[in-house]
Structure 1
Amino acid sequence: MARSLRAPRVAAVLTSALLILTTAACGGGSEDSKGSDDTGEKAGTSGSAFPVTIAHKYGEAKIPSQPKRIVTLGLTDQDAVLALGEVPVGSMDWIGNFKGTVGPWAEDELGDAEPPTVLKDTGTGPQIEKVAALDPDLIISVYGGLTKEQYETLSKFAPVVAQPKKYQDYGVPWQEQATIIGKALGKSDQAAKAVADVEAKFKATARPEFKNATAVMGTPYEGIFVYGSQDPRSRLLTNLGFTLPSGLDKAIGGKFGANISKERTDLLDQDTIVWMVGDVAKDSAKLRKDPSYGDLKVVKEGREVYIHETSDYGHAATFGTVLSLPYVLDRLGPQLAAAVDGKKETPVEQPAS
């Protein structure tokens, strides 16, 4: 199942003759229930990171030893793997136009290695036969939405770390995504440092005025589409100290995002609004032309922020990962500071690149 830049697609199980393929058994080995935490990880006590067991929406992934052939099916999981010094043999194509699903912000981590094999969503889920052909010893779908049927089929080939149970599909925070994947790869310390470094970047980017400000992020998709609290784009704002509109998740039915009616444009009239748009000039003019939006105080006082969603900046904001977020913060931080500085005359500039 893949989620588009703007709205989700419905996934169903892909049934085929793949069951005749040779399958890899899920990892065995003894385990010790001591040392578990809220990710459900249980590590062996031999001093090694393995064997390790990680709980998820459909049960547990038992990983017996250091994985060498990693396939990522979560839409952005490849970034966490790359940040930890590994290169997936295959990963899911979400946005396209990247080097084997590796965004520009992650190319240094890829280096001279062979880019991952590109895997597609067939409309009924991941290309399961293609995953099997890659002979994985670990399949990761943390920032994902596998169905139970897809999970059970994929588990015939390798241990599968599916999405965490306590979040909605595609709702795991970037910190937990990196932490879970770090444990799966036996690199918890490295993952903790990567998370700490990005959190330090957030702290350095945040301004005192952000803490007392409200913000919301949306896109002009089939009207006005706003992102909820579990979407990485909204977490960009809350991680910087902003508060989302009261009642936002209730208004969009607890989804990652949804369209709102003109009667609910009060959700947009915040201290700042961040728009993901295809064309900054055209989309901003179209939005402002409608009085239900154009007459809002946030518009009249020039507190809008626009991100070109198909630029590297927009793609990085959509990814919202341990690798893409520093790239985003260098650009978004100055825009937000200009939007909420209390001076109507301060322009919110577009980044140079």
Structure 2
Amino acid sequence: GIQDKLDTAKKDNPAFAGQTAVALSWYKGAVYPFTSTDVRGQLVTGSGFGYQTEIDKIADGKFSTELSPERIDLVDVDRIFVINDKADTEALKKFELFANLPAVKNGKVSYLLDSEGPAIGAAMSQGTLLSLPYAIDELVKSAK
């Protein structure tokens, strides 16, 4: 049923297909994008977005990687999904290199709470049969 839900999301949102995207977190003063093979990346691509696969190369088999400030260009995509709690989200918003990305300036960032509020990020990260339908619905809703 999860694949059917992703297929429906992709079919119902054809505009996603023309956009690149990335899912990331902010942790201890650095940007950590998830790879396209991580469950968070798979939900993004499964919903129809293209992914910034250059991240996969530098992650070298890990599920995410820390970006140095000069590599913020790797998250210069059409849509950014940020998975964080409120305090980290606010810190990320103050990080000038992130704030100056076109997607941020154009309001194309979905801030998905991890363990506070609706905990969409946790649903994406846990990747269970019970959490994934909710994660897919909320991810798609946040991108519209």
Q: TM-score range by the shorter chain?
A: 0.7 to 0.9
- Alignment correspondent of 1:220: 26
Q: What's 1:249 paired with?
A: 56
For 2:31 and 2:121, locate their aligned partners in 1 and report how far apart those are by CA, in whole Å.
18
Q: Give 3-state SS (helix, strand or coil) of 1:257's partner.
A: coil
Within-5 A mapping of 1:1-353: 197-206=1-10, 207-222=13-28, 223-279=30-86, 282-311=87-116, 312-337=119-144
Distance in 1 of aligned mates of 2:121 and 2:33: 16
Cα distance in structure 2, aligned partners of 1:220 and 1:283: 6
Shift of 1:256: 0.8
Q: Classify 1:241/1:200 alpha carbon distance in 2 versus 1 (closer, same or farther; 3 Å).
A: same
Structure 2: segments with no counterpart, 5+ residues: none
1:289 to partner: Cα distance: 2.1
The answer to whether the Cα contact below 8 Å between 2:84 and 2:111 also exists between their aligned partners in 1 is: yes
Specify the SS of the correspondent of 2:66. strand
Contact 1:236/1:320 (<8 A) preserved: no
* Counterparts of 1:227 and 1:255, CA distance in 2: 9
Show structure 1 runs of 5+ residues with no match: 1-196, 338-353
State the shift of 1:330 in Å. Answer: 2.1
* RMSD over equivalenced CA pairs, Å: 1.5
**Residue deviations 1:64-94, cap 9 Å, x none?**
xxxxxxxxxxxxxxxxxxxxxxxxxxxxxxx
Deviations 1:245-301 (A, max 9, x none): 14111122231111110111111111111111111xx43332232221111101110
More helix by share: 2
Higher relative contact order (CA 8 A, sep 6+): 2
Count, aligned residues: 139
What residue in structure 2 maps to residue 148 of structure 1? none
Residue 218 of structure 1 deviates from its aligned partner by 0.7
- Contact 2:35–2:53, Cα closer than 8 Å, also in 1: no
Q: Percent identity?
A: 33
Scaled by the length of structure 1, what TM-score is found? 0.38
* Matched residue SS, 2:115: coil
Distance in 1 between residues matched to 2:129 and 2:68, nearest whole Å: 34
TM-score (norm. length: structure 2): 0.88
Contact 1:216-1:234 within 8 A present in 2 as well: yes
- Report the Cα distance in structure 1 between the residues aligned to 2:57 and 2:108, rounded to whole angstroms: 25
Q: Distance in 1 between matches of 2:34 and 2:113?
A: 16
Q: Of the two, which has the highest radius of gyration?
A: 1
Residues 91-131 of structure 1, C-alpha deviations (whole Å, 9 max, x = no match)? xxxxxxxxxxxxxxxxxxxxxxxxxxxxxxxxxxxxxxxxx
Q: Whole-Å Cα distance in 2 between the matches of residues 290 and 310 of structure 1? A: 22
TM-aligned CA deviation for residue 305 of structure 1: 0.6
| 1:221 partner amino acid | Y
Give the distance between the partners of 1:210 and 1:264, measured in 2 at CA: 25
CA distance in 2, matches of 1:211, 1:321: 25
Distance, in Å, in 2 between the alignment partners of 1:229 and 1:235 is 6
Write the distance in 2 (CA, Å) between the matches of 1:299 and 1:277. 16
